[in-house]
Homo-oligomer: A and B are copies of this chain.
Amino acid sequence: MENKQKITGIVVEYNPLHNGHIYHIEQARSITQCDVLIAVMSPNFVQRGEPAFINKWTRTQYALEWGVDLVLELPTPYTIQSAETFATQAVNILAMAQIDTLVYGSETGIIANEPERDIDHQKLEAGLSYAKAMSSHQQGPNDILGKYYIKACQKHNITPIAIKRTNSYHSLELDESIASATAIRHQFNLGNDTSGYTPIDLLNNQTHHLNDYETLIKYSLLASNPKDLENISLVSEGIQNLLISNAHLNLEALIESCTSKRYTRSRIQRTLINILLNQSKDIPEIQQFRVLGMREAGQQHLRYLRKQDVSYTTHFKDYQFKDIEYRATSIYSLPYSDAYQKEQLNMEKSAIIRVPNK
Contact B219 A334, beta carbon cutoff 8 Å:
yes
Determine whether the beta carbon of A331 is less than 8 Å from that of B220.
no
A182 located at the interface, meaning its Cβ lies under 8 Å from any Cβ of chain B in the complex: no
- CB-CB < 8 A to A1: which residues of B? none
In chain A between 183 and 235, which residues have their CB closer than 8 angstroms to a CB of chain B?
Answer: 215-216, 218-220, 222-225
Closest residue of chain B to A220 (Cβ to Cβ) is: B223
Query: In the complex, what's the smallest C-beta–C-beta distance from A293 to chain B, in angstroms?
Result: 24
Select from chain B the residue with minimum beta-carbon distance to A253.
B338
Question: Is the CB–CB distance between A222 and B335 below 8 Å?
Answer: no
A276 at the interface (CB under 8 A from B): yes
Q: Is the interface of A mostly helix, strand, loop or mixed?
A: helix
User: How many Å lie between the Cα of A25 and that of B202 in the bound state?
Assistant: 60
Binding site for B on A (CB under 8 A): 215-216, 218-220, 222-225, 247-248, 250, 276-278, 327, 330-331, 334-335, 338, 341-342, 345
A334 neighbours in B (Cβ, 8 Å): 215, 218-219, 222
Q: How far is the CB of A251 from chain B (nearest CB, A)?
A: 10
Contacts of A276 in B (CB 8 A): 223
Q: A215-B334, A248-B330 are in contact. List 16 more A-B contacts (CB 8 A).
A: A215-B215, A215-B216, A215-B335, A216-B216, A219-B220, A219-B334, A220-B223, A222-B327, A222-B330, A223-B278, A223-B327, A223-B331, A247-B330, A248-B341, A248-B342, A248-B345
Interchain residue pairs with CB less than 8 A apart (19):
A215-B215, A215-B335, A216-B216, A216-B219, A219-B220, A220-B223, A222-B330, A223-B276, A223-B277, A223-B278, A223-B327, A224-B278, A225-B278, A247-B330, A248-B330, A248-B341, A248-B342, A248-B345, A250-B338
**Number of identical protomers:** 2
Residues on the B chain within 8 Å of A248, using CB: 330, 341-342, 345
Instruction: With a 10 A CB-CB cut-off, give which of A222, A277, A331, A342 has the most chain B CB atoms.
Output: A222
Identify which of B219, B225, B327, B345 contacts A331 (C-beta below 8 A): B219
Chain B residues lying within 8 Å of A250, measured Cβ to Cβ, are: 338
Cα-based distance from A278 to B216 in the complex (angstroms): 14
A330 CA / B223 CA spacing, docked (Å): 9
A278: B residues at CB distance < 8 A = 223-225
Residue in A223, A225, A250, A338 with the greatest tally of chain B CB atoms within 10 Å: A223
CA distance A276 to B334 in the complex (A): 16
For the complex formed, measure the closest distance between the CB of A196 and the CB atoms of chain B, giving whole angstroms.
Answer: 36
Give Cα A222 to B325, complex, Å.
12
Which B residues are CB-close (under 8 A) to A223? 220, 276-278, 327, 331
Are the C-beta atoms of B219 and A219 separated by less than 8 Å?
yes
